[in-house]
Structure 1
């Protein structure tokens, strides 16, 4: 199973999101072809209601602790409540790799 699929499965199980995107951005970095080292996550879940951004990120990082300790080098996390998602005009763009 791919790392991307493992991340998707774990986030679905932990947060029951109404929207989830797991984007492999490894190709934008200096890594071998077909790497799975850099990801962007966009997740909308009711479980984020009433939580500050830092708590949301801790929850996601905790859920993906195994992947982060075993090959995932970078994880861009974008967490939203349903209300925030409805008001959002766009998801922040990931900056280009400077390496």
Structure 2
């Protein structure tokens, strides 16, 4: 399964988002540090969910990282837009 699909599955299961957009931006980082050559190293995630409503920004980021679990070891960089 592609990393993008795994991200979508895990975040959907954890937060039941009203909006989830996962964009693979690895091509923009080809040859840079952290590029492992898989084409699945850098992602931009936009997520909106009721679960985040009363959470401070840092708690939102931690919740997403926790939901991603071991994927954090396979991804070099994640840009998050959480609301």
Please indicate, yes or no, whether the TM-score normalized by the shorter chain is above 0.5: yes
In structure 1, the residue matched to 2:78 is 75
TM-score normalized by the length of structure 2: 0.89
| CA RMSD, Structure 1 to Structure 2 (Å) | 1.0
Q: Aligned-pair distance for 1:49?
A: 1.1
User: Do residues 65 (structure 1) and 74 (structure 2) align?
Assistant: no
Q: Which has the larger radius of gyration?
A: 1
CA distance in 1, matches of 2:22, 2:78: 10
Structure 1 unaligned regions, length at least 5: 81-99
In structure 2, the residue matched to 1:13 is 13
How many correspondences in the alignment?
78
Structure 2 unaligned regions, length at least 5: none
TM-score normalized by the length of structure 1: 0.75
User: Do residues 56 (structure 1) and 60 (structure 2) align?
Assistant: yes
